[in-house]
A and B are shown apart, each in its own frame.
Chain A
């Protein structure tokens, strides 16, 4: 058994032991979960070999949420496995432990050991400063799905704010669409051949320190992260047939700010990263303004605008969000079915490439949620931006049943 695999198993058994120990307390585990059917219909044939023709990509997913809290309330645990089967893309058929932790809470601290997900940030169009968890890219190109990250997290609550310290062993590699999958690079990514910079050999423990608080109408977060960058550089393999992910050590400082005033939310995320070869500055900022109870109905309509900036060179991991403007609108009916719609477009100021995105959802009865997504790319310039995805426009329909 190779060492990585052994460590993964060790973590798993530690978690199982904690789970069993937690159960011995006598208080019950609360179990819920969901299962979903998903179909993506692509308007055009795939651009790259083996991607297949236009038509449907069918997929099933499920997750189980097991949560526990001790009778005294000072201990809690969570165990959340997730799995997906995909009819087209083998890489998208995968499983992950989204959460599996035990936590103990004191009067002004909490210590958490195990696998968890942590979100940082305020922006809507890009999650620039969110660095703890690796992106589960095969789930969705919006990068909002994350792989569970093993960690020891100490949270200290003080009058003047919240301090979080994270020790992050066991680096998780990013998932990428397979040969048959859409939204892939012209050459498929060979995730099994990932390589590491000498100082980032995959055995190290990453570290993060974050401060967050609010001052009146301003919410602020500030952090330092040192570890393996979650974004890999993709390099052409020796035989020229594959892209090899290359992970390197980074130091990064990030800031997130939100000013909330009446119906306005003003947002800014910024980061500076000392990467493998260069210093990167990046930011995303803008506003969200909401009209409540439009035309005397219960519905709210919000308008969003954000600008994305990144000064990285082509030697750094690729990003689409380098000089882009996002404009969007959000509709919430505030009805019993929680009907909501978000539509937006991200335009590259340099190439005029436009990325359209529509997300809508509505609950049926008490337990079924229907979700619709439409994604399309227009314009652009050969060889740059999202040009490789230009034939991947799709409509996705998902029906999820919660229990």
Chain B
């Protein structure tokens, strides 16, 4: 596993002086990484979370169809290992009970298993399909799974106003294989260090999609979660809106809830 090897950054991270990093870092790459790391680490220690959400899919004509799902996440304290997650569908009814288990990796392909309730079959699936649409939505698989800090190389661009906040604008380039993106531009606010917007650029370098993250709420005095995520595809004019319910943290989920043997026993 390739680790971030800049000694200055490593030292500062190790001594917990992350807040001071942006001003000390010299190159745009170092500054970009430091801002992304500060954002990512503002979330460290959440342990596990469990949330229900609805997904509304709109086509260019405004026609809508919905899905409802539940996402359970287990944080892996080691940054060189990705988190584990379980996605369980309750609607549309014909795919009710379908579940996707992911063990995220940093640069290697994730391990993923799908549970198909009609046959009661657990199937290991290829995670090469990073850029494919997730259940027909405008979100790609990688938009859900590639949220690990070290999956990207960063570059600081500039600072600008974003709505009523100030944001650092940071470019990030996927370091993992099979991404559908050449680059992403992220807006990270300077007050709470949360991502407010991401632009996704396709293989030709054209702007493909924009993700807006709104309705941030704070849990346990420190963990921020967006409750409304809108992904707009600028090439098809389709959009997908995720509306999250209240998150539950510290629900007692453990490694044993994220093994493939549990997939057939979720309901």
Binding site for B on A (CB under 8 A): 32, 34, 65, 67, 69, 76, 78, 103, 105, 107-108, 110, 117-119, 121-122, 144, 155, 157, 162, 212, 214, 219, 258, 260, 262-265, 290, 292-293, 298, 300, 334-338, 363, 365-367, 369, 400, 402-403
Contact = CB atoms under 8 A, between A and B. Distances in A.
Contact of A265 (B122, B126, B262): B126
Contacts of A119: 119-122
14 contacts: A117-B120, A157-B261, A162-B259, A212-B261, A219-B260, A260-B125, A262-B128, A265-B126, A290-B126, A298-B133, A334-B136, A366-B65, A366-B91, A402-B96
Given A119-B119, A119-B121, A402-B96, 16 more contacts: A32-B93, A108-B256, A121-B121, A144-B119, A155-B265, A162-B259, A212-B260, A258-B124, A262-B128, A263-B129, A265-B124, A290-B126, A334-B132, A338-B136, A367-B92, A367-B93
Contact of B261 (A107, A162, A363): A162
Contacts of B57: 336
Chain B, interface size category, equals: 35 or more
Contacts of A365: 65
A159 B63 CA distance: 47
Interface in B52-83: 57, 59, 65-66
Contacts of B133: 298, 334
A186 to B, nearest CB: 31
B94 interface: yes
A353 B187 CA distance: 62
B3 interface: no
Nearest to B122: A119
Given A110-B265, A363-B92, A365-B65, A335 B126 contact: no
B2 interface: no
B98 to A, nearest CB: 10
Contacts of A290: 126, 128-129
B267 A69 contact: yes
B109 to A, nearest CB: 7
B128 A400 contact: no
Nearest to A292: B129
Nearest to A67: B267
Interface of B: 57, 59, 65-66, 91-96, 109, 111, 119-126, 128-129, 131-133, 135-136, 180, 256, 259-262, 264-265, 267
A122 B260 CA distance: 14
A219 B124 contact: yes
A335 B136 contact: yes
Given A32-B96, A107-B256, A293 B131 contact: yes
Contacts of A363: 92, 94
A78 B265 CA distance: 11
A32 B96 CA distance: 9
Contacts of B126: 260, 262-265, 290
B86 to A, nearest CB: 14
Contacts of B128: 262-263, 290, 292
Please provide the 5 A-B residue pairs with the shortest distance between their CB atoms, ordered closest to farther.
A402-B93, A162-B261, A336-B136, A119-B120, A119-B121
Give the most central of A108, A117, A260, A338: most B CB within 10 Å: A260
Nearest to B103: A214
A366 B92 contact: yes
Contacts of A69: 267
A232 to B, nearest CB: 23
A333 to B, nearest CB: 8
B265 A103 contact: yes
Contacts of B136: 334-338
B109 A262 contact: yes
B142 to A, nearest CB: 12
B108 to A, nearest CB: 10
Contact of A292 (B59, B66, B131, B260): B131
Contact of A293 (B124, B132, B264): B132
A157 B128 CA distance: 28
